[in-house]
Structure 1
Amino acid sequence: MSNQKKEGAQEAMQKFGRFLSGMVLPNIGAFIAWGLLTALFIPTGWCPNEYLAQVGAPMSKWLIPLLLGYSGGAAIYGHRGGVLGTIATAGVIAGSDIPMFLGAMIMGPLGGWVIKKFDKAIEDHIPTGFEMLVNNFSAGIIGGILAILAFTGIGPVVLAANAVLRAGVEAIVAMGLLPLASIIIEPAKVLFLNNAINHGVLSPLGIQQAEQYGKSMFFLLEANPGPGFGVLLAYWFFGKGMAKESTPGAMIIHVLGGIHEIYFPYILMKPVLVLAVIAGGMSGVFTLNLLGGGLIAPASPGSILAVLAMTPKGAFLANVADFLVATAVSCAVASIFIKGSHDDGSEESLEAARESMTEMKNRGKDMPSNDNEKKVSGAELKRIVYACDAGMGSSALGAAGLRKKLKKAGYTDISVTNCAIGNIPKDAQLVVSHEKLAERALEDSPQAEHIWVKDFTQNNVFDIISARLKGEGVETKAAPVQEDTVKEGILTKANVKVGLKSVSKEEAIKAAGELLFKGGYVEEPYIQGMLNREKDITTYIGKGIAIPHGENAVKECVKESGIVVLQYPDGVPFGDDKAYLIIGIAGRGNDHLAILANLATTMDEYSDEQLHELYTTKDPDVLYKVFTKVD
C-alpha cells in the first residue's frame, strides 16, 4: 500500500473515530447512571434490591440507544436530524432483545442524513405558508418509514453481526488471547485512532457483557492508564533535560485527570517506546483476565479515579493489579530504551514531538482550504461579511478593522459588516469566519467565497483582498474616511476599572459580565453565556487583549449595547497567553461597533510601548479616551 493510501486510510479512521466519540461522549452520564444502578441493585451488587434493579433495564434497552441515535442524527443535521435519528433508532430497538447500541450508531446518523437530503431537495419547492406543515409531516412520514426499515431489515442484520462479533471475541477470551488486543489498541491511542475501536466495538460489547455478568473487561482495554504512566515514570527516572523535568505534572494530569494525550509526545519523541506501552497493555490485560476484573460501565475519562468509581464489588483487587502490573512492565521496558538513548531530552525535542502529535490529531479533519473554488473578482466585490457564533464580539472587531483598512486604502465602495452564523446575508460575496466554524459558515452561505482564520484580528485577510483589488486594477477613491460615532453611554468612565489584581480567566470573564449586568446592559444569564462562549472558542484576540462576550444562545439577554474595560496590570492567563485588558461586550444592533473600531485601530497602530502604557496606567481616563475617541 502506498504512503498516500495509508494516510488516506488513517484519516478515514480518525474521522470515523471522532464521529463515534461525538455520539458516545456526550452521553457518558447516562452510561454511568446505568452502571451505578446496576452495580448497586443487581443480585451480585453492593445493595441487592430486586425492586430498584428494574430501573436499570429500560436505560440499557431504550434510553441509552435513543440518546446515541439522537446524537448521531444531530451531528449530521442538527435538532431535526436528531429527531429523525431517534425515531429510526426506536425501530431497531423494538426488533431486538439486546441493548441495540450498534444499531443506534447506524440508524441515528442515517436518519439525520436522509432528512437532510430530503430538505435540500424540496427547499425551493414549498409554497409560502406551508413550510411548517411540510416540515412536520415529512419528518413523521420519513421517520415512520425508517423505523419500519430498521425493524425489519437493519435490526436483524445488526443482531446477526453482533452475534458473530461476540462469538469471535468470546472465543479469543476463551483461548486466553485477549492480551494481544493491546498490539492494536496501544499504538492506536498514540495515533488518535482509538476512538473507532473503543466506542465502535469495545464499549457496545462491554455493555452487553456487563448487563449479563455485572462487569466487563472490555471497558478497561483502552482506559487503563497504566501503560502511559509507566512510560512517564521511566522518563522521570532515567530521562534528561526538559523531558525529565516535565513528567511530574504530566503524570498527575494523566493518572488523576485521565487525559491520556499528555503522554503521547513522550512516545513520539522516541517511537520505539510504543513497544513499552504494548507490553504494559498486554501484561495488564493478562492480569485482569487472570483475576477476573472489569468495570460496570465505561470509565471516562481514563483516570484511575474513574476506573475505581466504575469498579463493581469484588473486582477492586483485579483492577488495581491491572493498573500496577501494566505500569511496572511499561516502565521496565521503557527504561531500557531511555537509558540506552543518546537523545538529551531537550525542550526542542519534546516540542517537536508535541507538534507532531498535534499534526496527527488534526489530520483528516473536515477543514476546508482557504483556496476554495469560489473566487469573487475584485471588480465585483461589494459585500464582505465577518461571521462568528454570536456576531457581537470577535467578528465585529475583525469587520471594524478590515473596514477601516479598506477605506484608508481608498476602497470606499466595499461594505464590511458582521453577523452571527445562521444570519449571514444571502447577498454576501465573501465571508470571513473562524476555522472552527467553517462547516457552519459553508452551510449558511454556500453562494459565497469563504476565508477561514484562526484569529479575527491577526490575519492576512486585508492582504488577500488588497492584492486582488490591485491586481485587477480596481479604482480607489481618495475620499475622507468617515469615522463611526461613539454613542454616549455605551462605555462610561465608571465601567473602566484599572489596577485589578490577577485572577483566573473564568473569574475575569465573570467580573466583566457582572459589571455589564450591574450597568443594566444585560440580564444575569448573559454572564453564564460569556463563560460558555469561552469554552467553545477563546475570546483572546492577541496583543494582550481579550473580548469576552455571550454565546448566541443568550443574545436575547442583551437589553442594550454596552462595553466594560477591566485592566489587569499583571495579566490574566488565557491558555499560553496573558490578557491585560478584558473588554466585556454586550452588543445589540450596531451601537457598540464604533468602540470596537477604535480597539481595532489601537491594536493595529499602537507600538508595544504604547500598549504597555494602556496595560499599566493608573488613570482610567486614558483608557476611556482611547476607546471613545472620534477621529
Structure 2
Amino acid sequence: MKPNMRANVQAFGGHLTAMVLPNIGAFIAWGFITALFIPTGWMPNEAFGELVGPMITYLLPLLIGYTGGQIVGDKRGAVAGAIGTMGVIVGADIPMFVGAMIMGPLSAWVVVQMDKRIQHRIPSGFEMVVNNFSLGIVGMILCLFAYEIVGPAVTAANLFVKSGIEALVATGFLPLLAIINEPAKVLFLNNAIDQGIYYPLGLQAAAETGKSIFFMVASNPGPGLGMLLAYAKFGQGLSKRSAPSAIIIHFFGGIHELYFPYVLMKPIMIVAMIAGAATGIATFNLLDAGLVAGPSPGSIFSYLALTPKGSFLATIAGVTTATIVSFLVASAILKMSKAENKEDEFEQSVSEMKDMKAEGAIKPATQQVNKPISFVAFACDAGMGSSAMGASTFKRKLVQAGIDIEVKNFAIEKVPSEADIVVTHESLESRAVNATGLPVVTIKNFLNDPALDELMDKIKQQTVATEQPA
C-alpha cells in the first residue's frame, strides 16, 4: 500500500475512532447491563433488562452522532449530528451505528458550510434568531433525509455484509478474517476495520443473543502474546531484552501497538500472527464464545470482564490456543532465520539510524525546531494507547532530570498547534505531517528509541543554555 493511501485509510480509521472511543464507557455500561440483567444473564431482572433495547437503539448511536458532529462543527455541529442521527435511527429497524458515523459528521459539515455563507449577512441583533432557526430548519431537512435515504441504504449494506460474514461462520471459514485483520493491525489500520465493521455487527448480535464473536476476531491478545514470548526466549539483542516488558503492557494493558515493531522488523512474522489469530477465531467459533461489548483496550482483563455467564472457558481457550500457535510458529521463524547469525535486526536498525544521523544523511526533526521546545505532543491513532504510554514514560524521564515542560498525548488529528514537536510511530509519519504541519519525530518503540534519546538530549541542552547567565 502506498504511503499516502495508507495515511488516508489510517486517517479514516482515526475519525471512526474519535467518534467511538470517547463513548466507550457508555458501550461498556450497556454491556454490563446486558450481561447482568437479560434472561440469560448473571442476575436476570425483567425491569432492568428493559434498559438494553433503548440504550442500543437510541443512546449509543446518538452519542456517536453527537461526538462525530462535535469533531466537525463544535457544539452546533454536535447538535446537528444528533438531529441527523435521530432520523437514521427511526428510519431503520437495526441499531444504527454506521448510520450515526455517517450522519453525525455529515450533518455538522452541512451546518458549517451554511454558517460560512450566512454569518456575514445577519443583521445586528438578529444573530440568535437566525442561528437557532437556521440550525432547526437545516436539522429538520437532514433528519428527513436520513430517515428516507441514509437509513434504508445503511440497512441494505448492513444486510449484505452481515450475510457475507454469516456465510463465513456457517461454512467454518471465519478464521480467514485473520488474513485481513493481522496485516491491517500492524499497518495501524485496525480501527477502520474493527470499529467500522466489527463493532456495529457485534453490537447488533449482542442485542439479539447477549454476546458476539465479532468483538473478538481482531482484538484477541493471544497472537501478540505468543510472538512476544518467542522473542523473549529465542530472540537476540535488544528485541530479546525488550520483549518481557512489552508482554506485560500488551497482554495486561491491552496496548497492542507494542508488538508492531517486532513484526515490522521481520515481516515474515506476520505468518505467526495470522496463524495464531486464525486458531483463536476457530476456537471461539467452535466453543460459541462471545463478548457483551467491544474490549477497549484489548487486554485479558477487558476480555474476562466482558465475558458473559457460561463463556469463560471458551474465552480463555481461544486466547490460550492463539498464544500457543503464535508462539510455536514465531519460534520456528526465529530459529530458522538466517538473520539470527547476524546482529539482531532490532539493534542493527537502531545502530544504522544513529550512524546516518552522525553522517548527516538524515536531518532529525529536532534540528528543524528553531525555538525552545516547551510542548511535546505524543500522537497515535486514537491518542489513548501507545501515545499515552510514551508520553508518561518520557515525562517521567524529564522529571527525573529536573526538567519541567509540557508533555501530552493526543490523537493525530487532535494535536494542538501550540505543540512544538510531535512524536509518533514511523508508520504514522505521513499522516502526522499532513494533519499537524509540525516537526515530527518518528520512532519504532514508544518506550525505548534512539530518536527519543536525541529529543531528550536536545531538551537538556536547551535547559542548560537557558540556565546559564548571560
Mark yes or no: TM-score above 0.5: yes
TM-superposition CA deviations, 1:154-192 (whole Å, max 9, x none): 111111221222112111111111000000000100001
Alignment of 1:310 onto 2:309: no
Paired position in structure 2 for 1:170: 166
Alignment of 1:32 onto 2:32: no
**Is contact 1:232-1:263 (8 Å) kept?**
yes
Paired position in structure 1 for 2:347: 348
Alignment of 1:67 onto 2:66: no
**Is contact 1:269-1:349 (8 Å) kept?**
no
CA separation in 2, counterparts of 1:278 and 1:329?
10
Paired position in structure 2 for 1:277: 273
Pick one of 121, 125, 135 that aligns with 1:125.
Answer: 121
Paired position in structure 1 for 2:248: 252
Paired position in structure 1 for 2:296: 300
Paired position in structure 1 for 2:54: 58
Alignment of 1:202 onto 2:201: no
TM-superposition CA deviations, 1:26-61 (whole Å, max 9, x none): 110011000000000001100111111112221101
TM-superposition CA deviations, 1:472-518 (whole Å, max 9, x none): xxxxxxxxxxxxxxxxxxxxxxxxxxxxxxxx859979xx99xxxxx
Q: How far is the alpha carbon of 1:348 from its aligned partner?
A: 3.0
Paired position in structure 1 for 2:389: none
TM-superposition CA deviations, 1:289-319 (whole Å, max 9, x none): 0111010000000101111111001111111
The normalised TM-score by structure 2 is 0.77
Alignment of 1:156 onto 2:152: yes
Aligned-CA RMSD value: 3.6
CA separation in 1, counterparts of 2:129 and 2:231?
64
**CA, structure 1 residues 112+352, in 2 after alignment: closer, same or farther (shift >3 Å)?**
farther
SS at match of 1:187: helix
Q: Which residue type is aligned with residue 271 of structure 1?
A: P
**CA, structure 1 residues 354+127, in 2 after alignment: closer, same or farther (shift >3 Å)?**
farther
CA separation in 2, counterparts of 1:216 and 1:127?
55
SS at match of 2:253: coil
Paired position in structure 1 for 2:12: 16
CA separation in 2, counterparts of 1:282 and 1:240?
27
**Is contact 1:266-1:350 (8 Å) kept?**
no
SS at match of 2:120: coil
Alignment of 1:332 onto 2:331: no
Query: Comparing both chains, which one has the higher relative contact order based on Cα–Cα distances under 8 Å and sequence gaps of 6 or more?
Result: 2
The normalised TM-score by structure 1 is 0.58
Paired position in structure 2 for 1:231: 227
CA separation in 2, counterparts of 1:218 and 1:127?
54
Paired position in structure 2 for 1:450: none
Matches within 5 A, 1:87-486: 87-341=83-337, 342-343=339-340, 344-345=343-344, 347-349=346-348, 351=350
**Is contact 2:295-2:303 (8 Å) kept?**
yes
SS at match of 2:218: helix
**Is contact 2:222-2:320 (8 Å) kept?**
yes
SS at match of 2:46: coil
CA separation in 2, counterparts of 1:76 and 1:328?
44
Paired position in structure 2 for 1:78: 74
TM-superposition CA deviations, 1:234-293 (whole Å, max 9, x none): 111111111111111000000000000000001111000001000001011001101110
**CA, structure 1 residues 113+352, in 2 after alignment: closer, same or farther (shift >3 Å)?**
farther
CA separation in 2, counterparts of 1:316 and 1:120?
54
Q: How far is the alpha carbon of 1:129 from its aligned partner?
A: 2.5
CA separation in 2, counterparts of 1:75 and 1:278?
35
CA separation in 1, counterparts of 2:145 and 2:202?
27
Higher helix share: 2
**CA, structure 1 residues 199+295, in 2 after alignment: closer, same or farther (shift >3 Å)?**
same
CA separation in 1, counterparts of 2:319 and 2:179?
17
Q: How far is the alpha carbon of 1:136 from its aligned partner?
A: 1.3
Q: How far is the alpha carbon of 1:12 from its aligned partner?
A: 2.3
**CA, structure 1 residues 204+540, in 2 after alignment: closer, same or farther (shift >3 Å)?**
closer
Structure 2 spans left out of the alignment, 5+ residues: 355-367, 380-394, 422-451
Percent identity of equivalent pairs: 50
Paired position in structure 1 for 2:39: 43
Aligned length: 402
TM-superposition CA deviations, 1:2-37 (whole Å, max 9, x none): x7xx44432221111111111111110011000000
CA separation in 2, counterparts of 1:287 and 1:534?
40
**Is contact 1:96-1:155 (8 Å) kept?**
yes
CA separation in 1, counterparts of 2:114 and 2:223?
48
**Is contact 2:85-2:103 (8 Å) kept?**
yes
**CA, structure 1 residues 199+354, in 2 after alignment: closer, same or farther (shift >3 Å)?**
farther
Paired position in structure 2 for 1:454: none
